[in-house]
């Protein structure tokens, strides 16, 4: 998310701080969810 390309002003401070850590964790969680959905591991669970 925060890697590659040009970063806006202040992005380095965000990436090094708590917000950056939270974004990395969110990115990892979304990647894991995507893998599970792709593998149909959530098959049978209702989504409202």
pLDDT tens column, 1-48 = 445 566 666 666 666 788 888 888 999 999 998 888 877 766 666 665
Q: Which residue has the tokens 């149909």?
A: 40
| pTM exceeds 0.75 for this model | no
CA distances from 25 to 12, 30, 40, 48 (A): 17, 9, 23, 25
pLDDT at 1: 46
């Amino acid at each position: 998310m925060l890697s590659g390309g040009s970063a806006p002003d202040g992005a380095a401070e965000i990436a090094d701080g708590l917000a950056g850590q939270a974004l990395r964790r969110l990115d990892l969680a979304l990647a894991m969810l995507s893998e599970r959905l792709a593998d149909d591991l959530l098959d049978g669970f209702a989504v409202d």
